[in-house]
Chain A
């Protein structure tokens, strides 16, 4: 692996940051939402998979307890991060999380989560969040890979599987001169082969289960191949009961705790398209 520290670009155009050879693998973690227990479990799993580098695609805080606990883990394992909307908000002390919700109930819970996270993130960690790049650009084999949070054009854009055309994804690949786009934000993993070696991947999130009644969370392994990039979604089991207990100890909403214990979302429901919402219970 060859890597350098060049800054990411925030507009069209592909400026290489790191390069990986055919056969190399990278791990991509989606939103952490302060779930330091799942982060540690995911790192342990990724290290058993001969990975060359680990990345986190942003939203380090939110939802869970003790937001400062993910930072030393990320630093210890040299996980390179992308800035999510939450990180931008916490880092810059903005009024809200910029999650993109429009429903009053969703925004009510988003505010509780945001106020707690902001109050419990140290100054030094806020500075770290503030300086994160909005995207990272890699070369994996012959493919240009762009890591972002929501979409390359908008950090908090929701790209749902059922509501995003391949036409649009190809447009983004053209505009940002990449073959593979990797994001998170919406909280549910999916991938789509766009043809000609092009690929879109939503790596899911480590922060909370993905509304299907399963208690595990997910991340993605990307492998550089001769003809493109392949994806393996990896389930991550972690001590969800401990997380739930700690959320209760921190007086976070019972609705959040219920999600951790049942695998079904209880909030942020109104942004879900019909197909994705039908997978859940609420």
Chain B
């Protein structure tokens, strides 16, 4: 008996995307193998590299973002908020980090639930009120709960390989001497195949990433029980706000600067972005809010 239904449409789209990605990768592997086994070392090398990246993701991302782990005594309220959300979501307590920057943002990393880190920027803490911060934390904890780090690492594995081959192949095996004629043309074919795999998988990965964001928004709504807090947090983070300025003051020559072009990107731009548009996320959250009343 649970008020929360799952979003079958979203799950089906996610499943389809992952299925297509797997199909592209299998075809790619088949081509690689048919061209000779000597590519195996490349796959092993990439595999090892991805594994290291996955295993040390928390440390790497934290240092590249300039995030500093904070203790319970440094940020007691932040720890309390996260702790209660973890209690509700039945997650182990992650480590918490803070990034000193005025840009409002947050992220989660770590290879599994036990090694997770949730980080927020000081800009986020300053700009949002506590229940909005809680909603953002719940979104990040859902990424942890859904094992998004692992899913996305696996999803990008062969795509990175294809990308690497596109970048390296032009400098390899294109010698053009008599003996290399055959290997030259097969290298050209490999280049084309890799390029296609790279482009198609890139679009699929970005699509998957957007679906996982929707899923994390939904999870945040479920864990906090309050979709509207996430809506107001998202609008504040993206710089769009319900205006506080009187209409009569805004009207006039300056108003051109206030209309919201930044909000609606082009359809092509959307295809390549990692996150859904603000409108799409707000729409989805409002549907969840309506489900709650149904």
Whether chain B is bound by chain A comes out as: no
